[in-house]
Amino acid sequence: MSSLYDPEQFLSRLPHLPKDKPAAVVFNAHITGLAVTRALGRENIPVLALDRDARAYGLASKYLHSAAICPNPLTNEEDFVDFLLQMGERLPVKAVLFPSNDEWVFAVSRHRDRLEKYYHFPFSPLEIVESVLNKKKLYQTAERLGVPIPKTWYPDEWMDIEAEAKKVTYPCILKPVEQRSFYDAFSAKVLEAHTPNEVIQLLKKVYPHSVVIQEIVPAGLSNYVSLCSYMRSNGEMVAGFVGRKLEQYPPDFGTGCLVKSEDLPDLAELGANILRTLAYYGISESEFILDHRDGVYKLLDINTRTWKWIGLPIACGWNLPLYAYEEAIGSPLTLPVSPTRKGMRWVYLKDYLTLKASGKYVSPQEHLHVHELAELLTGTSETCLDAVLDLDDPVPAARLLENFYTRSYVCPC
């Protein structure tokens, strides 16, 4: 039975939610939202999912109480917030919010004073979130704190574009200050330039989108590592998991499609110190790159939310969404005794197989062998999990297959 309802039916179901178990509201419901839904639903927490696209995989999960299509917060923020307020008026108790993309984080954060009557926010207030998600503010804060970052330039401060462009180290990338609208406009997370003239032309192309310019650190893909953590509001890191990117899609500046768990305690402590300094609490992913030129891990990005492969730390015993939920409602945290499953891999088969077919992969020694694929498909693998395929919750994978022969679905990750 489908959990997706039209808005009126969806709203009518909310008063019947249990009073002793606050609901979790997950949005959007693509790969990230699906992982959060499963992580909480398996703990018998009622999950409500919202998305702007009915094709989102997570809307088909059996672990949902109810789901609905909602206004797009990027283009209709006020309508989206109004829908949350309508939901809140019908909830028997305050629910916990789980935004899984930057635009959703910003939308609820900007209206936190109106929404907190009905919802718990398991992450820092807007001024802190904005200082982290805004790339210019993040890098300038890192420079001020002495946190290593790749060489970075701020073209909106340039007086003489031609002269300043000549000072940039090439090749470089133009990285958006705000990612979602940039991706919607250019279907790319970043744009690459090899000459001053290319930078000048790209700056004209992307206007009025604000960007920073950053050197490309010469490194293999496996030099990209992330601290996946949950920071309590008192600055205590109760979960510090490290994942290493093995493959990404698209192959140039894409998102991870094959990721492996790692044991790097020094990196975990570095990331935790940065988050404490920024006064951020909640779930986050802090991405670093190891620069072999000086042997230093350099900060690339911080996601102040759940992210695409959050299913990996969950599978390794670190249920970050559960910790956020429990602290938000004032319950003791259900921390594992010995969580880490070293060498565990997460794969998004759709992108991974597309990458394999293109021949543009970089870590063939880490790829899945035939018997590993067989175990993955039969649900017997103890060393790998797929982002969508799960025999315990099979309909999201069927939705993925259906999307192949219907209208194209652009991943909003």
pLDDT number for residue 413: 61
- Does residue 62 lie within any of the structural domains? yes
Helix (H, G, I), strand (E, B) or coil at 24: strand
Give the distance between the most distant pair of CA atoms in the chain: 64
Instruction: Please name the residues in contact with 29: beta carbons below 8 A apart, sequence gap of 6 or more.
Output: 37, 49, 50, 51, 56, 57, 58, 59, 61, 67
Q: Report the CATH number at residue 35.
A: 3.40.50.720
| Neighbour-count burial of 204, counting CB atoms closer than 10 A to its CB (0-12 exposed, 13-18 middle, 19+ buried) | exposed
Helix (H) or strand (E) holding 237: strand 237-249
- Does residue 241 lie within any of the structural domains? yes
| Neighbour-count burial of 318, counting CB atoms closer than 10 A to its CB (0-12 exposed, 13-18 middle, 19+ buried) | buried
Question: What are the pLDDT digits (tens) for 179-229?
Answer: 878 988 998 889 999 999 999 999 999 999 999 999 999 888 789 999 999
Residue 335 has pLDDT above 90, yes or no: no
Query: Do 392 and 63 form a contact (C-beta atoms < 8 A)?
Result: no
Question: What are the pLDDT digits (tens) for 95-120?
Answer: 999 999 989 999 999 999 999 999 99
- Does residue 128 lie within any of the structural domains? no
Amino acid in the structure at residue 345: R
Q: Report the CATH number at residue 176.
A: 3.30.1490
Pairwise CA distance, residues 10 & 51, whole Å: 13
Question: What are the pLDDT digits (tens) for 124-175?
Answer: 999 999 889 899 999 998 998 888 999 999 999 999 999 999 999 999 999 9
- Does residue 144 lie within any of the structural domains? no
Polymer length in residues for the chain? 413
Residue 1 has pLDDT above 60, yes or no: no
Average pLDDT taken over every residue of the chain: 94
Pairwise CA distance, residues 75 & 27, whole Å: 15
Confidence class for position 408, pLDDT limits 50, 70, 90: low
Domain carrying residue 194: 151-215
pLDDT number for residue 49: 98
pLDDT number for residue 306: 97
- Does residue 263 lie within any of the structural domains? yes
pLDDT number for residue 407: 66
What average pLDDT does the segment 267-287 reach? 92
pLDDT number for residue 200: 98
pLDDT number for residue 301: 94
Confidence class for position 342, pLDDT limits 50, 70, 90: confident
Query: Do 101 and 189 form a contact (C-beta atoms < 8 A)?
Result: no
Angle (CA) 319 322 326, round 5°: 140
Helix (H) or strand (E) holding 410: none
pLDDT number for residue 410: 62
What count of other Cβ atoms lies within 10 Å of the Cβ of residue 51?
25
Pairwise CA distance, residues 88 & 67, whole Å: 15
CA dihedral 394, 395, 399, 401 (to 10 degrees): 40
Pairwise CA distance, residues 224 & 217, whole Å: 11
Query: Do 399 and 60 form a contact (C-beta atoms < 8 A)?
Result: yes
Confidence class for position 411, pLDDT limits 50, 70, 90: low
Question: What are the pLDDT digits (tens) for 354-382?
Answer: 999 999 998 898 899 999 999 999 999 99
Percent of the chain surpassing pLDDT 70: 97
Question: What are the pLDDT digits (tens) for 68-98?
Answer: 999 999 999 999 999 999 999 999 999 999 9
- Looking at the fold, whether 196 and 228 belong to one and the same domain comes out as no
| Number of folded domains that form the chain | 3
Q: Is 302 left (phi over 0), alpha (psi -120 to 50) or beta?
A: beta
pLDDT number for residue 409: 62
What average pLDDT does the segment 229-249 reach? 94
- Does residue 291 lie within any of the structural domains? yes
Residue with tokens 């779930």: 283
- Looking at the fold, whether 210 and 228 belong to one and the same domain comes out as no
Helix (H) or strand (E) holding 175: strand 172-176
* Residue 250: cis peptide before it, omega within 30 degrees of 0: yes
- Looking at the fold, whether 281 and 382 belong to one and the same domain comes out as yes
- Looking at the fold, whether 160 and 115 belong to one and the same domain comes out as no
- Does residue 134 lie within any of the structural domains? no
Residue 230 has pLDDT above 80, yes or no: yes
